[in-house]
Amino acid sequence: MHLRDIPSVSAVLDRIDWRSVQLPRQMVVETIRAQLASLRSSARNGRQLPTKKEITLKIVAEIDRLNRPGLSRVINGTGIVLHTGLGRAPISPKLATDVAREVSTYTALEFDLETGKRGERLDHISALLTSLTGAEAALAVNNNAAALILALNTVADKKEVVISRGQLVEIGGTFRIPDVIEKSGAVMREVGTTNRTHLKDYEKGVNSETAAILYAHTSNYRVEGFTKEVSVAELATVSKKRRTPLIVDLGSGALFDLGKFSLPSEPVVRDVINSGAGVVTFSGDKLLGGPQAGLVCGKKTLISKLHKNPIYRALRCDKITLALLEWTLRSYTDGSPNSTNLTHKLLTTPRTVLRRRGQKLLASLPKTTVRKLGITVVDSMVEAGSGSLPVESIESIALRFNAKNVKPTELAKRFRTQDSPVVGYIKGNRFTIDLKAVLPAQMKDLSGAIQGVAK
């Protein structure tokens, strides 16, 4: 094939069904030009090119791929309920639909319908948060890192923050507590050692330049053995004595005792507030089961200062986040979440239920498909994800694949490229789909994806 046989941009454009394309026309044109330029380069290097028809079909297929929404539904077969790459906490479809209906038009975000005057957007969630945590006041920003930066900048800008060396954690994506402190404008003062920090270390570390004591809960790892950590209650005595605010970063954060539901325990926000913390920050999209948000609870005088900080305006939540957060908090009807909280529902689904689902799925598949892919139902252990409950594993059930003529990596790719994409993992040279984070309503789609892969 010669260079002159490569189709023109306009020829390819004529083959596109513009009625179904939801992309900027210029993006489509640039994609076609890039594809054709690559083909011309290949031809000049002596490579054999496809036919003009094949080239056109390939480019149109690429436009179709780009036309599919990037944020589309995925079946989470990793077993990690709070999977950062897959959006962390899943939201109940009914809840999402109800929220979309309320906020898709105009909504009383900052308007008081009783008085007809301007309102405060935090009013939609602050009373719920204070009730659930026992705090005097509360606010929300766009994630927990933002919450911590706002708290530190408000309380300790250009002043010292005392923190144990054992709590200088990396949150994720090389995002570290020392970096957060630096960017907040505060000056970090380390006390103690990596494995042992005593109350006397804090007492010696707090001086006239100290503006805050920071306690960072190590929610994504644990040091065991010869260790010593000062409790929040003990730090509160130093905070009160020295009149220095105590800021507690809980990371994931829990509003109830997870142990009651056979889950690994995490500090409960109410308990931390009652221990004497001045400010407590935690995530809305992890153990809470809501949208991405950073929640801040604590003493009214301190929360008021955070709210007045100009940085708050840059970090505040929009109407969609606040609406999802409000209804997530409303799901805690008796102190722990009800069935509308999908994250909690997935985390607490027992292995016996998951096994029945797996066996039912297997029985519904054609026997030829089961044999071809070598599918078996096996016990598994998973983690909550996103740094939440990192040490203890949770019981689950998985589908394990042992396809004779397909490598696990190829099998994983085939599942990812189905109409209903499935993301699993490879363990022991076997592709695996864990059922812990697969929604019950997705089991039919999972069955279809398995049969699609088997073709």
pLDDT digits (tens, 9 = 90+) for 180-203: 999 999 999 999 998 899 999 999
Kindly state the average pLDDT of the residues 129-133. Answer: 96
47 and 168 part of one domain: no
184 and 107 part of one domain: yes
**330 HSE (CA, 13 A, CB side):** 11
Mean pLDDT of the chain: 92
319 and 445 part of one domain: no
106: number of Cβ within 10 Å: 8
64: closest CA among 102, 32, 37, 111?
32
For CA atoms 177, 179, 183, 188, the dihedral sign is positive
352 and 325 part of one domain: no
Q: What is the pLDDT of residue 391?
A: 57
Q: What is the pLDDT of residue 136?
A: 98
329 and 356 part of one domain: no
Asked which of 163-177, 302-316, 422-436 is least confident by mean pLDDT, the reply is: 163-177
Kindly state the average pLDDT of the residues 116-129. Answer: 96
Cα dihedral: 67, 71, 76, 82 (round 10): 170
Q: What is the pLDDT of residue 404?
A: 84
DSSP state of 74: -
Q: For residue 169, is pLDDT > 90?
A: no
Q: For residue 149, is pLDDT > 70?
A: yes
Q: What is the pLDDT of residue 172?
A: 66
CATH number, domain at 439? 3.90.1150.180
Domain boundary among 313, 340, 367: 340
E strand or H helix at 54, and its extent? helix 52-67
Confidence of residue 454 (pLDDT cuts 50, 70, 90): very high
Q: For residue 232, is pLDDT > 90?
A: yes
Kindly state the average pLDDT of the residues 205-216. Answer: 94
d(Cα 439, Cα 217) in Å, to the nearest integer?
A: 31
| 4 compared with 115, residue with greater pLDDT | 115
Give one DSSP letter per residue of 207-270, joined into a string. Answer: -TTEEEEEEE--TT----SS-B---HHHHHHHHHHHT--EEEEEET-BSS-GGGGTS----BHH
Q: For residue 219, is pLDDT > 70?
A: no
Q: Where are the beta strands (DSSP E) in 85-208?
A: 137-141, 160-164, 170-172, 175-176, 187-191
Q: What are the angstrom distances between the C-alpha of 328 and each of 61, 79, 286, 319, 322? A: 40, 22, 12, 14, 10
Domain count, the chain: 3
Asked which of 302-306, 392-396, 445-449 is least confident by mean pLDDT, the reply is: 392-396
d(Cα 74, Cα 88) in Å, to the nearest integer?
A: 12
Kindly state the average pLDDT of the residues 382-400. Answer: 81
Q: What are the angstrom distances between the C-alpha of 186 and each of 158, 166, 168, 183? A: 5, 19, 15, 7
286: closest CA among 422, 176, 151, 145?
145
Q: What is the pLDDT of residue 220?
A: 61
- Which domain covers residue 260, as residue numbers? 93-340
142 and 57 part of one domain: no
Confidence of residue 390 (pLDDT cuts 50, 70, 90): low
Share of the chain above pLDDT 90, in %: 78
Q: For residue 242, is pLDDT > 90?
A: yes
Domain boundary among 312, 340, 368: 340
Kindly state the average pLDDT of the residues 117-126. Answer: 96
309 and 354 part of one domain: no
302 and 251 part of one domain: yes
60 and 161 part of one domain: no
Q: What is the pLDDT of residue 314?
A: 96
Q: For residue 4, is pLDDT > 80?
A: no
Share of the chain above pLDDT 70, in %: 96
Q: What is the pLDDT of residue 367?
A: 95
Kindly state the average pLDDT of the residues 14-24. Answer: 91
Confidence of residue 90 (pLDDT cuts 50, 70, 90): very high
Domain boundary among 324, 340, 356: 340
259: closest CA among 285, 231, 287?
287
2: number of Cβ within 10 Å: 7
Kindly state the average pLDDT of the residues 288-299. Answer: 96
Kindly state the average pLDDT of the residues 330-356. Answer: 92
Q: Which residues pair with 161 in a beta bridge?
A: 188, 212
Kindly state the average pLDDT of the residues 19-32. Answer: 94
Kindly state the average pLDDT of the residues 154-174. Answer: 89
Q: Do 140 and 290 form a contact (C-beta atoms < 8 A)? A: no
Token digits for 303?
A: 């929360």
195 and 329 part of one domain: yes
62 and 136 part of one domain: no
175 and 202 part of one domain: yes
Q: What is the pLDDT of residue 173?
A: 64
